Amino acid sequence: MSIDAIIKEFNKYNQSENEANLIRRAFELARTAHEGQKRKGGEPYITHPLSVGLTLAKMRLDAATIAAGLLHDTVEDCGVPLSEIEKKFGTDIAFLVDGVTKVGHIRYRGAEKQIENLRKMFLAMARDIRVVLIKLADRHHNMQTLDALPPDKRRRIALETAEIYAPIAHRLGIGELRGQLEDLAFKHIHPKEYEWVLKNIGEKYQEREDYLKKLIPFLISELNRDGIEPIEIQYRAKHYYSLYKKLLKYDMNFDRIYDLAACRILVPSVEKCYGVLGTIHRLWKPLPGMIKDYIAMPKPNGYKSLHTTVFCVNGKIMEFQIRTPEMHQENEYGIAAHFAYKENTAKPNAEELTWVKQLREWQKESQNPDEVLENLKIDFFKRRIFVLTPRGEVMDLPEESTPVDFAYQVHSELGDQCVGAKVNNKIAPLDYKLKSGDIVEILTQKNKKPSASWLEFVKTSEARKKIKNAVNKKERNISVEPQKKNQPIELKITTQDRVGLLKDITKAVASFKINILNVNMDNKSGAFPIIAVSIVPKDKAQLERLIVKIKQIKGVLEISSKA
Ligand code: MN
């Protein structure tokens, strides 16, 4: 494979010499960057970005997306600085490459209940639909070369593909890619079943193919009689994985799979689609309940077609799919198809899943390609972030949520007892603003009570409500009620054990010229000793400044005060 194949594909829908040159320049950088690198299977690394670029060109995507596809591994795998890509190719392409790199860090962790959230996280982190498309093309090639990897890695990647990537392709309406991703994963997830399907399908498929070859000339003449000139009649084998799933439903009986080699009829208009349906039903009796009008009522992912299953010649049961070329293009390439069709007339459907609906919102308004590009940013997740528990469960939270919000989301007890947090394995303050993809671990302490100061930074109403409840129950707190002058105050400081910590705390108190009446250290809880310091501050303002200062001391997790 070479860059010429990509340019040739690109020129089929875009003749701009400038844009073709952009793709060539991206290829040159990728080639230099990957020089000497090999894929696990031994072939030169550049074959991988080339394959990704070709897939994107076949989807008829814009030059920037293809260029980013060619460059997608140069930052992560070759250490090319993102700034260099930005300098040479502009912010748009740099943004795409960066997005692909970030999304690449999402891992399927086998937490089944969380898969839907993982998919959302994927889309939220991608930020731009083109990043998703590049990642799908990337995964498509990686799946084709999966045999070069060790078995445990193969299985994890195959599961990730089947559970995350294929469903996203499906939701975006990219039927062909979804089918291929599933088939490639099927082989590794259920190798025995895959072998079985492969062994048994050959003959059955051949039988259907021979049958259809004889049928098509007759069908064409009958359509002509009704004044219909089909643009194309094609038949193609069902994807293995969807076939396997169907077989499971029908006692593994091939004779009950009527769309094993469905016959596809492409005609120029919607009216003609219904015309074809009439011709077929005039010739052959339809099976009850098997007429599907996905033109009037498209599938939630936008799939449009007429389906009918009839008792065909010699009583053979056969499925026909009738559609226009535009519908066909959309069914195969989904959201990506809209780059090719500048004057698209796609209308959104009412029953779409909400987030797919939002995702597709842009396509109903956008008429010109520039506007389409502008609208490709996935901003419907802008107000949400997706973070992970250490076990890989995904939590869906509002933007700017903190570890305290996260803790309450997991469990109210975890929230109440939270004293600290680790974000991506590093200690982070409780008011840390979490980002999508962060792995959050909450450090707890038994019998710990929430602090009223948390109310200043929590984002979720659940956390707010629970903190308020707990605070109302417990002793009066400085941020709720001002202290009387010259009254002794006890500070309770939850800490991480560290040499010199106590000294740092007393030094901080002394720096305010505040007298310490008493210091107590409760070490019962092990990892999180509580230091109790009795002091007499001048006034509330001074006390608050002292608390801020103590909070900044390394090892101090939480601080509360009472009179
Ligand atoms: Mn890659």
Please report the DSSP string for 98-157 in residue order: HHHHHHTT------GGGHHHHHHHHHHHH-BHHHHHHHHHHHHHHHHTGGGS-HHHHHHH
Question: What average pLDDT does the chain have?
Answer: 83
Which pLDDT score, from 0 to 100, does residue 350 have? 30
Complete DSSP assignment for 331-383: HHHGGGHHHH-TT------TTS-HHHHHHHHHHHH--SHHHHHHTTB--TTTT
Give catalytic status of residue 76 as yes or no: yes
Residue from 129, 70, 168 nearest 336 by CA = 129
| Annotated catalytic residue, options 9, 35, 62, 77 | 77
C-alpha–C-alpha distance, residues 324 and 118, integer Å: 35
Q: What angle do CA 513, 516, 517 make, to 5 degrees?
A: 145
Residues 6+ apart with CB under 8 A from 227: 275
Cα-to-centroid distance, 41 and ligand 1 (Å):
14
The amino acid present at 547, given as its one-letter code, is: I
514 in helix, strand or coil? coil
What residues pack around ion ligand 1 (CB closer than 5 A)? 73, 138
Cα-to-centroid distance, 38 and ligand 1 (Å):
12
Tell me how far CA of residue 497 lies from CA of 522, 552, 558, in angstroms: 11, 15, 13
Cα-to-centroid distance, 72 and ligand 1 (Å):
6
**Rounded average pLDDT per 10-residue block, the chain, 563 residues:** 93 91 97 94 95 93 94 93 95 92 75 67 74 93 92 89 86 85 92 87 83 92 96 87 85 80 93 96 90 88 89 89 91 68 32 41 43 44 74 80 94 89 88 88 85 91 88 58 66 82 86 82 70 86 87 85 81
The amino acid present at 105, given as its one-letter code, is: H
Cα-to-centroid distance, 339 and ligand 1 (Å):
23
Which pLDDT score, from 0 to 100, does residue 379 have? 45
| Annotated catalytic residue, options 76, 222, 293, 393 | 76
The amino acid present at 530, given as its one-letter code, is: I
Cα-to-centroid distance, 135 and ligand 1 (Å):
8
Complete DSSP assignment for 60-104: T--HHHHHHHHHTTHHHHH---HHHHHHHH-HHHHHHHHHHHHHT
Cα-to-centroid distance, 76 and ligand 1 (Å):
9
Cβ(168)–Cβ(123) under 8 Å?
Answer: yes
Give catalytic status of residue 365 as yes or no: no
Cα-to-centroid distance, 73 and ligand 1 (Å):
5
Would strands 261-266 and 317-323 be described as parallel, antiparallel, or unpaired? Answer: parallel
Residue 413, by phi and psi: left (phi above 0), alpha (psi -120 to 50) or beta?
A: alpha
Tens of pLDDT, residue by residue over 209-266, are 888 889 999 999 999 999 999 999 988 778 889 888 888 888 778 878 888 878 999 9
Cα-to-centroid distance, 294 and ligand 1 (Å):
36
Which pLDDT score, from 0 to 100, does residue 72 have? 96
506 in helix, strand or coil? helix
Tell me how far CA of residue 435 lies from CA of 75, 382, 510, in angstroms: 21, 11, 38
C-alpha–C-alpha distance, residues 394 and 438, integer Å: 10
What values do phi and psi take at 481, rounded to 5?
A: -135, 135
C-alpha–C-alpha distance, residues 440 and 397, integer Å: 12
Tell me how far CA of residue 343 lies from CA of 131, 267, 284, 418, in angstroms: 24, 18, 37, 55
Which pLDDT score, from 0 to 100, does residue 114 have? 65
The amino acid present at 320, given as its one-letter code, is: F
